[in-house]
Amino acid sequence: MPELVLDSISLSFGELKAIDDVTVELKKDEILSIIGPNGAGKTCLLNCISGYYKPQRGTISFNGEKLNNVAIFERTKLGIGRTFQNVELFNGMSVLDNIMAARHLHFNTGVLRAFLYYGKSRKEEIRNREIVEEIIDFLEIKPARNKIVGSLPYGIRKRVELGRALAIEPKILLLDEPMSGMNIEEKEDMARFIIDIYEEKKIPIILIEHDMGVVMDISDRVIVLDFGKKIDEGMPEEMMHSEKVINAYLGN
């Protein structure tokens, strides 16, 4: 059974069709890449899944539950984690505090008990901090754990954002150009972390990425969008030689 199903999704902004009758299925055991030229509708598709946009037509289902009328924060509680094309972090806070902020979903103590910081509240804080420390170790950002995010190199901030997405304990991950703006070494590191998340944590991933080398290396399946329409779908090797894909990127 697919983990996530988008069935005939359409999204328009006035006369502009951002997504036109697109169907996508994310299986439980895959990294699914969505590629296409700028303006193809890739990020709009992720925004529909996360709840930022509401499609005019079609349905979105996650683990058999229809999401169309489910609020953004409720989708996060269900286990939909994501990163953004532009880094969206609290720049005045430390790496530890940025990732810890995503753990609020897993705090059960009331405000008063949390303020007094004793008993159950203290144990809960310690448990959540241990999980955050594990994420920091996993992403190899321990030297930066207490540094202010706004002072860090771009590649490290991208890792912090990935760590924050992991902190909600997601069942699926939506990664919107996680390697944009990175040099070759940073891209190699990020690709390694994505593969480790998939293989070790068993989290299926939808990846939007422009680096075709990365897409072909780590994807199990590729979907191609152009002007809001799905024009092709298949294995990475097939998409490399697809005439539709070549025309979409290079023109007729």
* pLDDT value of position 104: 83
CATH 1.10.760.10 fits 1-79+171-252, yes or no: no
The overall average pLDDT reported for the chain is 90
* pLDDT value of position 250: 66
* pLDDT value of position 2: 65
The identity of residue 26, as a single letter, is L
* pLDDT value of position 112: 47
The domains of the chain are located at: 1-79+171-252, 89-169
Per residue, the 3-state secondary structure of the chain, as one string, reads: CCCEEEEEEEEEECCEEEEEEEEEEECCCCEEEEECCCCCCHHHHHHHHHCCCCCCEEEEEECCEECCCCCHHHHHHHCEEECCCCCCCCCCCEHHHHHHHHHHHHCCCCHHHHHHCCCHHHHHHHHHHHHHHHHHHHCCCHHHCCCEHHHCCHHHHHHHHHHHHHHCCCCEEEEECCCCCCCHHHHHHHHHHHHHHHHHCCCCEEEECCCHHHHHHHCCEEEEEECCEEEEEECHHHHHCCHHHHHHHHCC
The values of phi and psi at residue 68, to 5°, are: -50, -40
pTM for this prediction: 0.89
Residues of the chain with pLDDT under 70: 1-2, 108-120, 250-252
* pLDDT value of position 160: 95
* pLDDT value of position 111: 46
Percent of the chain with pLDDT over 70: 93
